[in-house]
Chains A and B, each alone.
Chain A
Protein backbone atom coordinates (compact mmCIF):
# COMPACT_ATOMS: atom_id res chain seq x y z
CA UNK A 1 0.00 0.00 0.00
CA UNK A 2 1.35 3.41 -0.91
CA UNK A 3 0.02 6.85 -0.10
CA UNK A 4 -0.69 7.36 -3.80
CA UNK A 5 -3.37 4.64 -3.63
CA UNK A 6 -5.37 7.08 -1.50
CA UNK A 7 -5.54 9.37 -4.51
CA UNK A 8 -8.02 6.99 -6.07
CA UNK A 9 -10.59 7.93 -3.39
CA UNK A 10 -12.82 10.67 -4.83
CA UNK A 11 -13.32 14.06 -3.18
CA UNK A 12 -10.89 13.29 -0.36
CA UNK A 13 -7.60 14.93 0.59
CA UNK A 14 -5.30 12.84 2.74
CA UNK A 15 -3.59 15.08 5.31
CA UNK A 16 -0.19 13.50 4.88
CA UNK A 17 3.27 14.91 5.37
CA UNK A 18 3.24 16.74 2.05
CA UNK A 19 -0.04 18.55 2.80
CA UNK A 20 1.10 19.22 6.37
CA UNK A 21 4.26 20.93 5.10
CA UNK A 22 2.33 23.04 2.58
CA UNK A 23 -0.32 23.97 5.12
CA UNK A 24 1.75 24.44 8.25
CA UNK A 25 1.43 28.23 8.55
CA UNK A 26 -2.17 28.26 7.34
CA UNK A 27 -3.11 25.71 10.00
CA UNK A 28 -1.11 27.46 12.72
CA UNK A 29 -2.92 30.71 11.88
CA UNK A 30 -6.20 28.83 12.41
CA UNK A 31 -4.82 27.31 15.61
CA UNK A 32 -4.12 30.78 17.01
CA UNK A 33 -7.88 31.44 16.93
CA UNK A 34 -8.49 29.17 19.91
CA UNK A 35 -7.50 32.18 22.03
CA UNK A 36 -10.33 34.64 22.58
CA UNK A 37 -8.02 37.67 22.30
CA UNK A 38 -6.72 36.43 18.95
CA UNK A 39 -10.24 35.92 17.65
CA UNK A 40 -10.98 39.53 18.61
CA UNK A 41 -7.82 40.82 16.93
CA UNK A 42 -8.54 38.84 13.75
CA UNK A 43 -12.14 40.06 13.59
CA UNK A 44 -11.05 43.66 14.14
CA UNK A 45 -8.63 43.61 11.19
CA UNK A 46 -8.26 40.35 9.30
CA UNK A 47 -5.56 41.51 6.90
CA UNK A 48 -3.22 42.88 9.57
CA UNK A 49 -3.75 39.85 11.77
CA UNK A 50 -2.73 37.60 8.87
CA UNK A 51 0.55 39.55 8.60
CA UNK A 52 1.65 37.70 11.74
CA UNK A 53 1.76 34.43 9.78
CA UNK A 54 3.86 33.33 6.82
CA UNK A 55 1.00 32.46 4.50
CA UNK A 56 1.46 32.36 0.75
CA UNK A 57 -0.41 35.04 -1.21
CA UNK A 58 -2.85 32.39 -2.43
CA UNK A 59 -3.48 31.03 1.06
CA UNK A 60 -4.01 34.54 2.35
CA UNK A 61 -6.58 35.33 -0.34
CA UNK A 62 -8.39 32.03 0.23
CA UNK A 63 -8.66 32.82 3.95
CA UNK A 64 -9.97 36.34 3.39
CA UNK A 65 -12.49 35.05 0.86
CA UNK A 66 -13.32 31.92 2.94
CA UNK A 67 -12.77 29.60 0.00
CA UNK A 68 -12.79 26.38 2.02
CA UNK A 69 -11.92 23.85 -0.67
CA UNK A 70 -9.06 26.06 -1.86
CA UNK A 71 -7.73 26.20 1.70
CA UNK A 72 -8.02 22.41 1.81
CA UNK A 73 -6.04 22.13 -1.44
CA UNK A 74 -3.37 24.43 0.00
CA UNK A 75 -2.76 22.24 3.03
CA UNK A 76 -5.55 23.34 5.35
CA UNK A 77 -6.81 20.60 7.63
CA UNK A 78 -10.49 20.51 8.44
CA UNK A 79 -9.98 20.50 12.23
CA UNK A 80 -7.84 23.63 11.95
CA UNK A 81 -10.11 25.31 9.42
CA UNK A 82 -12.96 24.65 11.86
CA UNK A 83 -11.38 27.24 14.18
CA UNK A 84 -11.71 29.84 11.43
CA UNK A 85 -15.33 28.83 10.82
CA UNK A 86 -16.00 29.00 14.58
CA UNK A 87 -14.56 32.52 14.65
CA UNK A 88 -17.18 33.38 12.01
CA UNK A 89 -19.79 31.84 14.33
CA UNK A 90 -20.26 28.85 12.04
CA UNK A 91 -20.27 25.17 13.01
CA UNK A 92 -18.06 22.57 11.32
CA UNK A 93 -21.07 21.30 9.42
CA UNK A 94 -21.19 24.63 7.56
CA UNK A 95 -17.61 24.06 6.47
CA UNK A 96 -18.41 20.53 5.31
CA UNK A 97 -21.43 21.78 3.33
CA UNK A 98 -19.29 24.42 1.65
CA UNK A 99 -16.65 21.86 0.72
CA UNK A 100 -19.34 19.57 -0.67
CA UNK A 101 -20.60 22.51 -2.78
CA UNK A 102 -23.99 22.32 -1.10
CA UNK A 103 -25.99 24.95 0.75
CA UNK A 104 -26.13 24.29 4.52
CA UNK A 105 -29.83 23.46 4.11
CA UNK A 106 -29.26 20.95 1.29
CA UNK A 107 -26.35 19.39 3.20
CA UNK A 108 -28.47 19.03 6.35
CA UNK A 109 -31.23 17.42 4.26
CA UNK A 110 -28.73 14.97 2.77
CA UNK A 111 -27.50 14.02 6.25
CA UNK A 112 -31.01 13.55 7.64
CA UNK A 113 -31.69 11.36 4.63
CA UNK A 114 -28.85 9.06 5.70
CA UNK A 115 -25.84 10.93 4.37
CA UNK A 116 -23.90 10.59 1.15
CA UNK A 117 -24.07 7.00 -0.08
CA UNK A 118 -20.90 4.96 -0.33
CA UNK A 119 -21.97 3.31 -3.60
CA UNK A 120 -20.36 5.24 -6.42
CA UNK A 121 -18.07 7.09 -4.00
CA UNK A 122 -15.42 4.48 -3.33
CA UNK A 123 -13.17 5.02 -6.30
CA UNK A 124 -12.49 7.51 -9.02
CA UNK A 125 -12.65 4.52 -11.36
CA UNK A 126 -16.34 4.20 -10.51
Chain B
Protein backbone atom coordinates (compact mmCIF):
# COMPACT_ATOMS: atom_id res chain seq x y z
CA UNK B 1 0.00 0.00 0.00
CA UNK B 2 0.95 3.63 -0.27
CA UNK B 3 2.05 5.42 2.88
CA UNK B 4 2.79 8.94 4.00
CA UNK B 5 6.28 8.99 5.47
CA UNK B 6 6.70 12.65 6.26
CA UNK B 7 5.24 16.12 6.11
CA UNK B 8 6.96 19.35 5.16
CA UNK B 9 5.77 22.87 5.88
CA UNK B 10 7.18 25.75 3.88
CA UNK B 11 6.45 29.29 2.83
CA UNK B 12 5.90 29.82 -0.89
CA UNK B 13 6.92 33.47 -1.36
CA UNK B 14 6.88 34.35 -5.10
CA UNK B 15 9.99 36.57 -4.79
CA UNK B 16 11.99 33.46 -3.79
CA UNK B 17 11.18 31.93 -7.17
CA UNK B 18 12.09 35.14 -8.95
CA UNK B 19 15.40 35.36 -7.06
CA UNK B 20 16.29 31.78 -7.97
CA UNK B 21 15.22 32.15 -11.61
CA UNK B 22 17.23 35.36 -12.03
CA UNK B 23 20.37 33.81 -10.51
CA UNK B 24 20.26 35.93 -7.35
CA UNK B 25 20.28 33.09 -4.84
CA UNK B 26 23.87 33.88 -3.78
CA UNK B 27 23.14 37.53 -2.99
CA UNK B 28 23.37 38.47 0.71
CA UNK B 29 19.60 39.10 0.92
CA UNK B 30 18.66 35.66 -0.44
CA UNK B 31 21.60 33.44 0.50
CA UNK B 32 20.44 32.71 4.08
CA UNK B 33 17.06 31.58 2.81
CA UNK B 34 18.41 29.11 0.27
CA UNK B 35 21.03 27.94 2.77
CA UNK B 36 18.19 27.27 5.20
CA UNK B 37 16.75 24.66 2.83
CA UNK B 38 20.01 22.78 2.17
CA UNK B 39 19.42 20.21 4.96
CA UNK B 40 15.95 19.51 3.54
CA UNK B 41 17.35 19.12 0.02
CA UNK B 42 19.79 16.51 1.38
CA UNK B 43 17.01 14.80 3.36
CA UNK B 44 14.56 14.58 0.47
CA UNK B 45 17.28 13.24 -1.83
CA UNK B 46 17.60 10.33 0.63
CA UNK B 47 13.85 10.04 1.24
CA UNK B 48 13.13 9.77 -2.52
CA UNK B 49 9.35 10.20 -2.40
CA UNK B 50 7.43 8.74 -5.32
CA UNK B 51 4.70 11.33 -4.98
CA UNK B 52 4.28 14.64 -3.22
CA UNK B 53 0.80 15.76 -2.24
CA UNK B 54 1.27 19.50 -2.40
CA UNK B 55 -1.20 21.63 -0.47
CA UNK B 56 -1.08 25.22 -1.68
CA UNK B 57 -3.26 28.03 -2.84
CA UNK B 58 -3.74 29.40 -6.29
CA UNK B 59 -3.18 33.18 -6.35
CA UNK B 60 -5.64 34.23 -9.04
CA UNK B 61 -3.79 32.19 -11.68
CA UNK B 62 -5.96 29.20 -12.60
CA UNK B 63 -8.93 30.14 -10.44
CA UNK B 64 -10.39 33.60 -10.35
CA UNK B 65 -13.48 35.11 -8.75
CA UNK B 66 -15.49 33.30 -11.44
CA UNK B 67 -15.14 29.98 -9.63
CA UNK B 68 -13.79 29.63 -6.08
CA UNK B 69 -13.35 26.01 -4.97
CA UNK B 70 -12.67 25.64 -1.26
CA UNK B 71 -10.75 22.39 -1.76
CA UNK B 72 -9.65 21.31 -5.25
CA UNK B 73 -7.59 18.25 -6.14
CA UNK B 74 -5.62 18.00 -9.36
CA UNK B 75 -6.20 14.74 -11.23
CA UNK B 76 -4.38 15.69 -14.44
CA UNK B 77 -1.31 14.05 -15.97
CA UNK B 78 0.59 17.33 -16.04
CA UNK B 79 0.44 20.95 -14.95
CA UNK B 80 2.25 23.78 -16.77
CA UNK B 81 3.75 26.65 -14.72
CA UNK B 82 1.39 29.64 -14.78
CA UNK B 83 1.94 33.12 -16.19
CA UNK B 84 1.13 35.24 -13.14
CA UNK B 85 1.54 38.56 -14.87
CA UNK B 86 5.31 38.53 -15.40
CA UNK B 87 5.67 35.44 -17.61
CA UNK B 88 5.70 31.79 -16.55
CA UNK B 89 8.60 30.56 -14.40
CA UNK B 90 11.19 28.61 -16.39
CA UNK B 91 10.76 25.51 -14.26
CA UNK B 92 9.95 21.97 -15.39
CA UNK B 93 6.44 20.85 -16.20
CA UNK B 94 4.85 19.34 -13.09
CA UNK B 95 3.90 15.71 -13.64
CA UNK B 96 0.79 14.55 -11.86
CA UNK B 97 -0.20 11.14 -10.55
CA UNK B 98 -3.72 10.69 -11.95
CA UNK B 99 -4.20 7.21 -10.45
CA UNK B 100 -3.43 8.27 -6.88
CA UNK B 101 -5.22 11.61 -7.37
CA UNK B 102 -8.45 10.00 -8.60
CA UNK B 103 -8.31 7.41 -5.88
CA UNK B 104 -7.80 10.17 -3.30
CA UNK B 105 -10.59 12.32 -4.74
CA UNK B 106 -13.02 9.41 -4.65
CA UNK B 107 -11.99 8.38 -1.16
CA UNK B 108 -12.27 11.95 0.17
CA UNK B 109 -15.71 12.55 -1.32
CA UNK B 110 -17.06 9.29 0.07
CA UNK B 111 -15.42 10.31 3.36
CA UNK B 112 -17.65 13.44 3.26
CA UNK B 113 -15.09 15.95 1.94
CA UNK B 114 -16.73 17.45 -1.15
CA UNK B 115 -13.69 18.01 -3.32
CA UNK B 116 -13.61 19.87 -6.60
CA UNK B 117 -11.90 17.71 -9.24
CA UNK B 118 -9.58 19.57 -11.58
CA UNK B 119 -8.34 18.09 -14.83
CA UNK B 120 -6.72 21.16 -16.29
CA UNK B 121 -4.84 23.90 -14.51
CA UNK B 122 -1.67 25.91 -14.54
CA UNK B 123 0.24 25.95 -11.28
CA UNK B 124 1.61 29.18 -9.84
CA UNK B 125 4.34 30.09 -7.35
CA UNK B 126 2.28 28.57 -4.55
CA UNK B 127 3.17 25.15 -5.94
CA UNK B 128 6.42 25.69 -7.85
CA UNK B 129 8.35 27.71 -5.25
CA UNK B 130 8.14 24.91 -2.64
CA UNK B 131 9.38 22.43 -5.27
CA UNK B 132 12.27 24.75 -6.11
CA UNK B 133 13.15 25.16 -2.42
CA UNK B 134 13.34 21.45 -1.69
CA UNK B 135 14.69 20.18 -5.02
CA UNK B 136 16.66 23.19 -6.31
CA UNK B 137 17.13 23.96 -9.99
CA UNK B 138 16.59 20.69 -11.84
CA UNK B 139 15.93 19.54 -15.41
CA UNK B 140 12.84 17.68 -14.29
CA UNK B 141 11.13 17.33 -10.91
CA UNK B 142 12.30 14.07 -9.32
CA UNK B 143 8.82 12.93 -8.29
CA UNK B 144 5.21 13.23 -9.27
CA UNK B 145 2.87 15.72 -7.67
CA UNK B 146 -0.78 15.71 -6.65
CA UNK B 147 -1.79 19.37 -6.26
CA UNK B 148 -4.37 20.19 -3.61
CA UNK B 149 -5.50 23.81 -3.90
CA UNK B 150 -7.24 25.56 -1.01
CA UNK B 151 -9.10 28.84 -1.15
CA UNK B 152 -7.45 31.21 1.30
CA UNK B 153 -8.03 34.43 -0.65
CA UNK B 154 -11.80 34.85 -0.58
CA UNK B 155 -13.08 35.01 2.99
CA UNK B 156 -14.01 32.65 4.48
CA UNK B 157 -11.36 30.03 3.85
CA UNK B 158 -11.95 26.62 5.42
CA UNK B 159 -11.38 26.55 9.18
CA UNK B 160 -8.16 25.22 10.62
CA UNK B 161 -10.12 22.37 12.13
CA UNK B 162 -11.63 21.43 8.78
CA UNK B 163 -8.17 21.50 7.20
CA UNK B 164 -6.78 19.28 9.96
CA UNK B 165 -9.66 16.83 9.45
CA UNK B 166 -9.08 16.83 5.69
CA UNK B 167 -5.47 15.86 6.35
CA UNK B 168 -6.63 12.86 8.33
CA UNK B 169 -8.94 11.86 5.48
CA UNK B 170 -6.07 12.23 3.00
CA UNK B 171 -4.09 9.78 5.06
CA UNK B 172 -6.94 7.26 4.98
CA UNK B 173 -7.15 7.74 1.21
CA UNK B 174 -3.43 7.24 0.61
CA UNK B 175 -3.26 4.18 2.84
CA UNK B 176 -6.07 2.55 0.89
CA UNK B 177 -4.20 2.91 -2.41
CA UNK B 178 -2.86 -0.49 -3.34
CA UNK B 179 0.41 0.42 -5.06
CA UNK B 180 3.57 0.74 -2.99
CA UNK B 181 4.28 4.44 -2.94
CA UNK B 182 6.30 6.64 -0.62
CA UNK B 183 4.24 9.81 -0.29
CA UNK B 184 5.40 13.05 1.31
CA UNK B 185 2.83 15.77 1.98
CA UNK B 186 3.64 19.47 1.80
CA UNK B 187 1.68 22.21 3.52
CA UNK B 188 2.64 25.61 2.15
CA UNK B 189 2.06 29.33 2.65
CA UNK B 190 2.67 31.72 5.53
CA UNK B 191 4.11 32.31 7.95
CA UNK B 192 3.08 35.73 9.30
CA UNK B 193 2.68 38.31 6.56
CA UNK B 194 0.34 41.03 5.43
CA UNK B 195 0.63 42.36 1.89
CA UNK B 196 -2.21 44.87 1.93
CA UNK B 197 -3.49 47.97 3.66
CA UNK B 198 -1.69 50.34 5.99
CA UNK B 199 -0.70 47.41 8.23
CA UNK B 200 1.26 45.82 5.34
CA UNK B 201 4.61 44.40 6.43
CA UNK B 202 3.32 42.89 9.67
CA UNK B 203 5.54 40.12 11.07
CA UNK B 204 4.91 38.26 14.33
CA UNK B 205 7.84 35.96 15.19
CA UNK B 206 6.36 34.90 18.55
CA UNK B 207 3.18 33.69 16.87
CA UNK B 208 5.19 31.93 14.16
CA UNK B 209 7.38 30.13 16.67
CA UNK B 210 4.36 29.06 18.70
CA UNK B 211 2.73 27.75 15.52
CA UNK B 212 5.82 25.71 14.60
CA UNK B 213 6.03 24.37 18.16
CA UNK B 214 2.35 23.46 18.06
CA UNK B 215 2.71 21.65 14.76
CA UNK B 216 5.11 19.23 16.35
CA UNK B 217 3.62 18.95 19.83
CA UNK B 218 0.00 20.12 19.88
CA UNK B 219 -1.72 20.01 16.50
CA UNK B 220 -5.12 19.51 18.14
CA UNK B 221 -4.63 22.84 19.89
CA UNK B 222 -3.60 24.57 16.67
CA UNK B 223 -6.67 23.22 14.92
CA UNK B 224 -8.89 25.14 17.35
CA UNK B 225 -7.47 28.56 16.42
CA UNK B 226 -10.21 30.70 14.82
CA UNK B 227 -9.71 32.75 11.65
CA UNK B 228 -9.70 36.06 13.45
CA UNK B 229 -6.62 35.08 15.46
CA UNK B 230 -4.71 34.31 12.25
CA UNK B 231 -5.71 37.62 10.67
CA UNK B 232 -5.07 39.68 13.79
CA UNK B 233 -1.82 38.00 14.86
CA UNK B 234 -0.29 36.71 11.62
CA UNK B 235 -1.67 39.25 9.11
CA UNK B 236 -4.37 39.07 6.48
CA UNK B 237 -2.26 36.76 4.31
CA UNK B 238 -0.98 34.80 7.31
CA UNK B 239 -4.28 32.93 7.19
CA UNK B 240 -2.57 30.73 4.58
CA UNK B 241 -1.18 28.87 7.58
CA UNK B 242 -4.40 26.85 7.85
CA UNK B 243 -3.00 24.87 4.90
CA UNK B 244 -0.19 23.54 7.10
CA UNK B 245 -2.84 21.82 9.20
CA UNK B 246 -3.85 19.67 6.22
CA UNK B 247 -0.26 18.43 6.08
CA UNK B 248 -0.19 17.90 9.84
CA UNK B 249 -3.49 16.04 9.88
CA UNK B 250 -2.06 13.49 7.46
CA UNK B 251 0.70 12.54 9.92
CA UNK B 252 0.86 10.49 13.11
CA UNK B 253 -0.34 12.03 16.37
CA UNK B 254 3.29 11.97 17.52
CA UNK B 255 5.96 12.89 15.01
CA UNK B 256 9.67 13.56 15.01
CA UNK B 257 10.69 17.09 14.11
CA UNK B 258 13.68 16.52 11.84
CA UNK B 259 14.36 20.12 10.96
CA UNK B 260 13.14 23.67 11.37
CA UNK B 261 14.11 26.96 9.76
CA UNK B 262 12.83 30.51 10.26
CA UNK B 263 13.95 33.70 8.58
CA UNK B 264 12.69 37.27 8.23
CA UNK B 265 12.23 38.63 5.62
CA UNK B 266 11.64 37.34 2.15
CA UNK B 267 9.94 40.32 0.56
CA UNK B 268 7.04 40.96 2.99
CA UNK B 269 7.02 37.51 4.54
CA UNK B 270 8.40 35.51 7.44
CA UNK B 271 9.80 32.33 5.89
CA UNK B 272 8.97 29.26 7.95
CA UNK B 273 9.95 25.69 7.26
CA UNK B 274 9.60 22.42 9.15
CA UNK B 275 10.16 18.73 8.38
CA UNK B 276 8.12 16.21 10.39
CA UNK B 277 8.57 12.45 10.10
CA UNK B 278 6.06 9.78 10.99
CA UNK B 279 7.26 7.26 13.55
CA UNK B 280 5.36 4.34 12.07
CA UNK B 281 7.24 1.27 10.86
CA UNK B 282 8.89 2.12 7.63
CA UNK B 283 9.02 -0.28 4.72
Q: Which residues from chain A sit less than 8 Å from chain B, CB to CB?
A: 1, 3, 5-6, 9-17, 20, 24, 27-28, 30-31, 33-36, 39, 69, 72, 77-80, 82-83, 85-87, 91-93, 95-97, 99-102, 107, 110-112, 114-118, 121-123
Contacts and interface: CB of A to CB of B under 8 A. Distances in A.
Interface size of B as a range: 35 or more
B64 A31 contact: yes
Contacts of A15: 153-155, 236
Contacts of A100: 197-201
B201 A115 contact: yes
A72 B202 contact: no
Given A34-B85, A96-B268, A78 B198 contact: no
Contacts of B14: 92
A30 B232 CA distance: 27
A91 B267 contact: yes
Nearest to A16: B155
B203 A86 contact: no
B61 A5 contact: no
Contact of A14 (B84, B155, B198, B267): B155
B202 A115 contact: yes
Contacts of A14: 155, 231, 236
A112 B18 CA distance: 18
Contacts of A6: 228, 231
B83 A96 contact: no
Interface of B: 14-15, 18, 59-61, 64-66, 82-87, 153-156, 192, 194-207, 226-228, 231-233, 235-237, 264-265, 267-268, 270
Given A27-B60, A121-B202, A123-B232, 18 more contacts: A6-B228, A12-B199, A12-B235, A15-B236, A16-B154, A34-B85, A35-B83, A36-B83, A77-B60, A78-B237, A80-B65, A83-B60, A96-B268, A99-B197, A99-B198, A100-B201, A118-B203, A121-B199
